[in-house]
Amino acid sequence: MICKIAICLVSIMAFSLEAVHAQSRQAPPGMFKDLDDEILGEALLVHDKQLFIDDYIIDAMQGVSRHLHQPVKHPQNPIMRRDPAKEFAITYGAVVFDDRDQLFKMWYHVSIDAKDTVTYAAYATSMDGIVWERQVVDPNTGSNVITFDPAEPWIGAPSIVIDDRDPDPARRYKMLYLAKPTLESASLRSCIAYSADGMHWKQEPQNPVVPYSDTQICPFWDSRTNRYVAYLRFGPPNVRIVSRIESEDFLHWSPKLTVINKSRLDQPFNTEFYTMSAIPYGGVYIGLLNTYHGETIKPIPEDQPWMDRVDNQLVFSRNGVTWQRVLADGAVAMAELKKDRDWKKVVEEATFLPYGEFKKDWDWGQIYPFHSPLIVGDEIRFYYSGISGRHWRTYHNDDSDYAVGLATLRLDGFVSVNAGDDEGTLTTRPLVFFGDTLEINANAEGGSLRVEAIDDEGNPIKGFNKTDADPLTSDDVHHILSWKGNADCHLLQGRPIRLRFHLQNAKLYSFTPRITLNHYLQSYD
């Protein structure tokens, strides 16, 4: 009995010692921090990648400047030409990548004559998004024209969303399009259709349900608002400015809200807005504004070759509703557009996707981006229709041709912060992030980029100052920052800090907090 009691006492003592030992364990430094509204203060909570298109994340820049970048047109352009036997013109369209089929898919607007008396939507696919093949929709005729039930005699400007959230497979593909049920202009309306395969479509029985637009309507699913969003033209009456609508179910759409109107930026070239396509991008929104300059049917002076032509400018938003125009040095607030500047020079430098060389290139007259840019790997793709002729080409005797082109931009490559031979700095506003890794998109080839962390009193944080920072000296969209060889920066997470970027002969595009390590803690030995 005494032995049993002794054994129990030993067990209890051992358990107590284990408990005391377990309670005395110390978590690694920086594993736990307090955070409340007083500690957070005015610091920004950062989760997504941070671009430098506007001033939101920037507190100060010294010896650096922002630069707008243009997409590079693909060397194989045009990547798809019209079929002259069946297609007079290719204008609006949409390209998506279907994850299920591992295919790029294109729907495009075809006119069979110069007056658009009959138009339809055709279908093509590609393995790589560069080499395209028209797909047979009707085996009896070999046609690649998509079908509608009930039939539509006139189809224009197809825009496509692949919606894997919809439980009904017959509604996986959703389309916004234009229709003329009587072939008369007065019957023009905006409609919806659904499809299981992207080739055979059923009209929404309640059509027309979308507010009127006489050009392409550009929809997408916005996970931030949990709604479908679309940008379209104001009207009726038809006015070339940009409006926005929303829907919870792709069927019931809100009234229009005008979100981009004309400003002093549009006066030098009498610019109007033909369409706008947009995408959510890293917690913000990026848009391509189709800018139509100097509409005229009159003879055009030789010193004004820009007249009656269409190119593109970049627009930017943090909420998808209020948009900023992006100039050569970044986004500009509406108040700045009311000031006196050499707006002609500003507009010339703000071109994002330009038309080709006048009367030489296949896309010299007009550029119409397809309904949504695509992110493919480490590049952004802008598909577009190009026209070798001006808008009122018949009045100008332009011998026009039509085709599909592609332009690409590096990931996050819209606007960079640049430094030359002399080192410059960019300092962020106070920010708080979750994570253990900082990823940088930058080109420091032939130069260097270092990053230090600064506390809320402006002092470099021990272990993360400039002298500790390992320099970036190459071009990569996924640089991982490190300090004395250590990339784990969890000591910086959950506390207000600033990042100071030191650049020399380098371009900085973005930074992103990442969670790449395992921080499991053992409760007991």
- State the pLDDT at residue 26: 78
Query: Does 258 have pLDDT greater than 60?
Result: yes
Contact at 8 Å (CB) between 54 and 316? yes
Rounded Cα distance, 360 and 354, in Å: 14
Cα dist from 266 to 236, 296, 348, 458, 509, whole Å: 22, 16, 11, 42, 28
Q: Is 345 helix (H, G, I), strand (E, B) or coil?
A: helix
- State the pLDDT at residue 117: 85
Q: Does the residue 115 lie in any domain?
A: yes
Query: Does 2 have pLDDT greater than 90?
Result: no
- State the pLDDT at residue 12: 41
Question: Closest by alpha carbon to 110, among 138, 86, 134, 135?
Answer: 86
Residue 102 makes CB contacts below 8 A (sequence gap 6+) with none
Between vectors from CA 298 to CA 296 and to CA 300, what angle results, nearest 5°? 85
Percent helix, strand, coil in the chain, to 5, is 10, 45, 45
Mean pLDDT, rounded, of the chain: 93
Write a three-state SS string for 442-501: EECCCCEEEEEEECCCCCECCCCCCCCECCECCEEEEEECCECCECCCHHHCCCCEEEEE
Cα dist from 2 to 5, 15, 449, whole Å: 5, 20, 73
Question: How many helices and strands (H and E) does the chain possess?
Answer: 3, 37
Same domain, 215 and 353: yes
Q: Is 348 helix (H, G, I), strand (E, B) or coil?
A: helix
Residue type, 503: L
Chain center to CA of 482: 29
Same domain, 369 and 480: no
Mean pLDDT throughout 186-199? 97
Query: Does 8 have pLDDT greater than 90?
Result: no
Q: Does the residue 7 lie in any domain?
A: no
Chain center to CA of 63: 29
Same domain, 429 and 317: no
Mean pLDDT throughout 165-185? 96
Percent of the chain with pLDDT over 90: 89
Mean pLDDT throughout 232-253? 95
Same domain, 171 and 310: yes
pLDDT band at 19 (very low <50, low <70, confident <90, very high): very low
- State the pLDDT at residue 260: 96
Same domain, 433 and 321: no
Q: Which residues pair with 108 in a beta bridge?
A: 93, 122
- Look at residues 411, 440, 474 and tell me which one is the last residue of a structural domain: 411
Cα dist from 76 to 80, 104, 401, 403, 474, whole Å: 9, 17, 17, 12, 28
| Structure token digits, residue 503 | 């650049």
Consecutive H or E run containing 21: helix 2-23
- State the pLDDT at residue 24: 55
Q: State the CB neighbour count (10 A cutoff) for residue 406.
A: 23
Same domain, 163 and 232: yes
- Domain range spanning residue 263? 72-411
- State the pLDDT at residue 238: 85
Q: Does the residue 16 lie in any domain?
A: no
Q: Does the residue 22 lie in any domain?
A: no
Same domain, 285 and 346: yes
- Tokens 């309507």, residue located: 217
Q: What are phi and psi of 346, to 5 degrees?
A: -60, -45
Tell me the per-residue pLDDT of 348-382, one tens digit each, with 9 for 90 and over.
999 999 999 999 999 999 999 999 999 999 999 99
Same domain, 373 and 459: no
Mean pLDDT throughout 159-184? 96
Same domain, 377 and 433: no
Same domain, 286 and 425: no
Mean pLDDT throughout 29-37? 90
Query: Does 210 have pLDDT greater than 70?
Result: yes
Same domain, 93 and 65: no
Q: Does the residue 214 lie in any domain?
A: yes
Question: Any idea what the CATH number is for the domain that residue 320 is in?
Answer: 2.115.10.20
Q: Which DSSP state fits 139?
A: T
pTM, 2 dp: 0.93
Query: Does 6 have pLDDT greater than 70?
Result: no
Residue 183 makes CB contacts below 8 A (sequence gap 6+) with 117, 118, 153, 154
Same domain, 421 and 302: no
- Look at residues 382, 411, 440 and tell me which one is the last residue of a structural domain: 411
Rg (CA), the chain: 28
448-454, strands of its sheet edge to edge: 58-62, 424-428, 498-504, 448-454
Rounded Cα distance, 314 and 95, in Å: 19
- Tokens 């590079």, residue located: 72
Question: Any idea what the CATH number is for the domain that residue 459 is in?
Answer: 2.60.120
Rounded Cα distance, 137 and 514, in Å: 45
pLDDT band at 143 (very low <50, low <70, confident <90, very high): very high
Rounded Cα distance, 471 and 474, in Å: 9
Q: Does the residue 157 lie in any domain?
A: yes
- State the pLDDT at residue 13: 42
Rounded Cα distance, 80 and 96, in Å: 16
- State the pLDDT at residue 525: 67
Between vectors from CA 479 to CA 473 and to CA 484, what angle results, nearest 5°? 70
pLDDT band at 22 (very low <50, low <70, confident <90, very high): very low
Q: Does the residue 13 lie in any domain?
A: no
Q: Does the residue 14 lie in any domain?
A: no
Beta strands in 50-102 (DSSP E): 50-51, 58-62, 65-68, 72-73, 80-81, 89-98
Q: State the CB neighbour count (10 A cutoff) for residue 319.
A: 10
pLDDT band at 198 (very low <50, low <70, confident <90, very high): very high
Domain tally, the chain:
2
Beta strand pairing status for 330-332 and 323-327? antiparallel
- State the pLDDT at residue 116: 82
Mean pLDDT throughout 252-272? 96
Q: Measured in Å, how far apart are the chain's first and last C-alpha atoms?
A: 32
**Is-cis flag, bond preceding 150, omega within 30?**
yes
Tell me the per-residue pLDDT of 100-126, one tens digit each, with 9 for 90 and over.
999 999 999 999 988 888 899 999 999
Tell me the per-residue pLDDT of 291-339, one tens digit each, with 9 for 90 and over.
999 999 999 999 999 999 999 999 999 999 999 999 999 999 999 999 9
- State the pLDDT at residue 14: 44
Contact at 8 Å (CB) between 350 and 271? no
Residue type, 352: F
- State the pLDDT at residue 27: 82
Question: Closest by alpha carbon to 309, among 271, 263, 262, 268?
Answer: 271
Question: Closest by alpha carbon to 81, among 132, 32, 144?
Answer: 132
Percent of the chain with pLDDT over 70: 95
Q: Is 347 helix (H, G, I), strand (E, B) or coil?
A: helix
Tell me the per-residue pLDDT of 66-101, one tens digit each, with 9 for 90 and over.
999 999 999 999 999 999 999 999 999 999 999 999
Rounded Cα distance, 251 and 320, in Å: 20
Tell me the per-residue pLDDT of 267-290, one tens digit each, with 9 for 90 and over.
999 999 999 999 999 999 999 999
- Look at residues 353, 376, 411 and tell me which one is the last residue of a structural domain: 411
Rounded Cα distance, 106 and 175, in Å: 12
